[in-house]
Amino acid sequence: MPNIEDFMEWLNGEITKYVYRPQDTANAARQGAFVEVRQKICELDASNKGMDISEIEHIAGEICDHYCKFPEAYYTGHDDDNDRMIEERCNKCPLTRFLEGEG
pLDDT in tens, 16-69: 776 666 666 676 777 777 788 878 777 766 655 556 778 888 888 888 888 888
In which domain, by residue range, is 23 found?
4-99
pLDDT, residue 19, reads 63
DSSP 90: G
Give one DSSP letter per residue of 12-75, joined into a string: HHHHHHS---TT-HHHHHHHHHHHHHHHHHHHHHHTTS---HHHHHHHHHHHHHHH-SHHHHH-
pLDDT in tens, 64-85: 888 888 888 888 889 999 999 9
Total structural domains within the chain: 1
Higher pLDDT among residues 3 and 14, named by residue: 14
